Structure 1
Amino acid sequence: MENKGNFFAKTISGLQPWQRLAVSCVGAAITYVLLRYSVNPLNRYFVLLITWDVFAVVYLICCWVVLINLKLPVLKQNASQEDGSKWMVFVLLILFSIAGLFIIMLLLSKNIVDVPRLPLTLGAVAGMFFSWLIVHTIFSFHYAHLYYKNNSKSGGLVFPGNHEPDYLDFAYFSIVIGCTFQVSDVEVTSRQIRHLVLLHGLLAFILNTFVVALSINIMLGFIQHTA
C-alpha cells in the first residue's frame, strides 16, 4: 500500500504545470458528460457547479501532492518549472477566481427547484472554498519561484529559524496573506516580492469580500427553503 502511495506521489510530482491543468480539465469534462448526458440528466446549472468542484479538487490534489512531497534539493532546482510562466500564473489566478464566483452568482440568480437544497448549498460552499484555495496555492508556487530563482537562493523572504524554506513554508506564507491580508512572522526583504505581496493582499481582500457576501446569500437561501 505504501509503495502504491509513493508511486502516486511520484507520478503526480512529475507532472508539468500544464499537465496538471490538463488532467483537471479531463476529469471535469468526464464529469460533465456523465452527469449531463446520462439516462436521468441533472439540472445543467448544478452539473456546472459539480464540474467546477471536480476540476478544482483534481487540480488542488495535483498541486498539494507537489507541495507536500517535493524535497528541498529538487524544489530548488525545479521551482521555476513548477511555477510555470508568469502569464500562466496570473491568467490562471484571474480565471479561477472569476470562474468560481461566477458559478455561485449564477446559481443564486436561478430558482433551481429540481435539485435538493442541501447538496446545492454544499456544492456552492465547496466551490467557493476551492476557488479561494487555488488562488493562494498558485501564489505559493510563485513565491518559491522568486525565492529560488535561477536554481539559487535569491531570497526576498526571511523565515524564522535557520532552515531553508520548502514548499509548505511558502504555502504558509501565502495562505496567511489570504486569510489576514498581511504577512505574519516572515519578513519581506525583496522589492519584487513586496510588490507581489501587495497584489496578493489586494486580490485576497477582494476575493474574501465576495466569498463572505456570497456565503451569506447562500445560507439565507438555504434557511428560507428549509423553513
Structure 2
Amino acid sequence: MASDVRDGRRAPTATAALASAAGVGLVAAVVCTVTVSWRFGFLLGWMAAALTFLVRLWIALWPMNADETQQHAAREDPRKPVADVVMVAAALVSLAAVGLMLTGSTGGRDLQAALSVCSVALAWGVVHTVFMTRYAELYYDEEPGGVDFGDDRPPVFSDFAYLAFTVGMTFQVSDTQVTGPLLRKAVLRQALLSYVFGAVIIATLINLIAGLGK
C-alpha cells in the first residue's frame, strides 16, 4: 500500500491541521484585538484559522490516489473525532461572531458586511471539509465500505468531497448510496447542520442588504 507522503512530507491529518490553524488564528486574533477591537479580533482570528485549516487540507488531500487516501484516512481514529468536533463548533461560534459584529457599531458597514460574508463562507467550507474527511475515515475504517459511488474504483478524497458538498448544498445524497449505519448517522448530522447554515446565511444576507440600504 502506498504511503500518504509527497515530496518527503506526510500529509497533515485533520488534528494536525487544526493545531496549526489554532496557532495562526490566535496570533491574528490578538493582533486585531490590540490594534482594532475585540469584535474584529474574534472574527478575523476565526477567519485566519479557518483559511489555514482549509488550505492545508485541500492542498494535501486533493491530489491523493486511492491508496494514499486509504493510508491517510487510517491515521485518524474515526471513534475519536476531536478535530471534527472542535472545527464544527468553531464554525458555529463564528456565526455568533457575525451577529456580534452586525449588532455593534454602525461605522464601517461595508467592511463589516464583507468580513461577515467571508466568515460565513469559510465556516460553510470548514463544516463540509470536516465531513469530507470524516466520510473517508469511516469508509476506510477496518473493512472498507459504507458508500456505493457507482463504480468499482476505490474512492479518493474528491469522491468524498462530492458526497459531502452534495449533502451540504441539497441536504441529501444524489447518485451515491449510503449503506453503512455510521455513515448514515454522519450524513444525517451534516444535513441538519447544513440546514442551520442555510437559514443563517439567508438571514445574514437579508440583514446585510437591509443595513447597506440605510
- What band does the TM-score fall into relative to the shorter chain? 0.7 to 0.9
Contact 2:54 2:126 in 1 (8 A): yes
Specify the alignment match of 1:146 in structure 2: 138
Contact 2:78 2:141 in 1 (8 A): no
Deviates more, 1:179-188 or 1:27-36: 27-36
Specify the alignment match of 2:177 in structure 1: 187
* Structure 1, gaps ≥5 residues long: 1-5
What is the deviation of 1:117?
Answer: 2.4
Specify the alignment match of 2:47 in structure 1: 53
* Structure 2, gaps ≥5 residues long: 1-5
How many residues end up aligned between the 2 structures?
209
Quick one: which of 110, 135, 143 aligns to 1:118?
110
In 1, the alpha carbon distance for the partners of 2:133 and 2:19 equals 18
- 1:43 matched to 2:37? The reply is yes
Letter in 1 for 2:92: I
What is the deviation of 1:72?
Answer: 1.7
In 1, the alpha carbon distance for the partners of 2:25 and 2:103 equals 23
Q: How does 1:1-227 map to 2 (within 5 A)?
A: 11=9, 13-37=10-34, 41-82=35-76, 85-113=79-107, 116-150=108-142, 152-153=143-144, 155-224=145-214
Contact 2:102 2:112 in 1 (8 A): no
Letter in 2 for 1:128: V
After the TM superposition, list the runs of 4 or more consecutive aligned residues in structure 1 that deviate by more than 4 angstroms.
Answer: 82-85
Letter in 2 for 1:28: G
Letter in 2 for 1:184: S
Contact 1:17 1:83 in 2 (8 A): no
Deviates more, 1:171-180 or 1:206-215: 206-215
What is the deviation of 1:179?
Answer: 0.4
Letter in 2 for 1:86: K
In 2, the alpha carbon distance for the partners of 1:83 and 1:211 equals 32
How large is the Cα RMSD of the aligned pairs?
2.1
User: Normalising to structure 2: TM-score of the pair?
Assistant: 0.87
In 2, the alpha carbon distance for the partners of 1:101 and 1:189 equals 33
Letter in 2 for 1:149: D
Q: Percent identity?
A: 27
Change (3 A) 1:80 1:102: farther
In 2, the alpha carbon distance for the partners of 1:193 and 1:83 equals 15
Contact 1:83 1:142 in 2 (8 A): no
Specify the alignment match of 1:3 in structure 2: none
Bigger proportion of residues as helix = 1
Contact 1:136 1:178 in 2 (8 A): yes
